[in-house]
Chains A and B, each alone.
Chain A
Amino acid sequence: DAGITQSPRHKVTETGTPVTLRCHQTENHRYMYWYRQDPGHGLRLIHYSYGVKDTDKGEVSDGYSVSRSKTEDFLLTLESATSSQTSVYFCAIGTSGRVDTQYFGPGTRLTVL
């Protein structure tokens, strides 16, 4: 998966608890993205980053925050998890901002009870 790892790979948590998902890359790519994948919706962009400390919102950013203090790590935080955030979360990286340079990680399955 092009030098992308996601952790944890599976997580079960309870409503109202904070959760942080980590995306780590070894490619030194400038761009990093967080998507969620749900039945019937394909992938939807949550947040993305175009450099260290440079982030912006995507289509479904409510309830999520991100941080990027180092090139290699992009963290996605659910401050207070809700059942509607049960999903599979994918991180992607890219050398440029172009779609055809994006590579996806293996995903994290998050279940909020």
Chain B
Amino acid sequence: GESVGLHLPTLSVQEGDNSIINCAYSNSASDYFIWYKQESGKGPQFIIDIRSNMDKRQGQRVTVLLNKTVKHLSLQIAATQPGDSAVYFCAEALNNAGNMLTFGGGTRLMVKP
């Protein structure tokens, strides 16, 4: 697989701790927000999404928080595991159509055993 070797912001956490990855989005008209996980050598993988009419959405071990006032999105990962090590991207869109996404630059999460 392929990945992009980037000088990305990096978050380093201890295994078992909670992780918080932040993202600032640009378009106040965006209605749909998504978090992706990209493991080394693989394509991005959809994790969780949230619509603009919500502030919070929970999945399995992950929570996405949306603050429209300051155009901020965060991804919380509970009890971080070594398998969570990856690059995480946020994306925004005017709607949930697959051709409308604008991706952020990504954050690298490193989990220390």
Contacts and interface: CB of A to CB of B under 8 A. Distances in A.
Interface centre among A38, A56, A59, A99 (most CB of B within 10 A): A99
A100 B96 contact: yes
The majority secondary structure among interface residues of chain B is: loop
Interface centre among B7, B43, B101, B106 (most CB of A within 10 A): B43
Contacts of A41: 103, 105
Interface residues of A, number: 34
Interface stretch (B12-20, B44-52, B70-78): B44-52
Interface stretch (A12-20, A42-50, A74-82): A42-50
A42 B1 contact: no
A1 B34 CA distance: 19
Nearest to B97: A97
B98 interface: yes
Given A33-B99, A43-B89, A92-B98, A99 B32 contact: yes
Interface centre among B5, B32, B106 (most CB of A within 10 A): B106
Nearest to B33: A99
B96 A106 contact: no
Contacts of A97: 97-99
Interface of A: 1, 9, 31, 33, 37-45, 48, 56, 58-59, 88, 90, 92, 94, 97-109
28 contacts: A38-B4, A39-B4, A39-B6, A39-B7, A40-B105, A41-B103, A42-B102, A42-B105, A43-B101, A44-B103, A45-B99, A56-B99, A58-B99, A88-B4, A92-B98, A97-B99, A98-B96, A99-B98, A100-B46, A100-B49, A101-B98, A103-B43, A103-B46, A104-B43, A104-B44, A106-B43, A107-B2, A107-B3
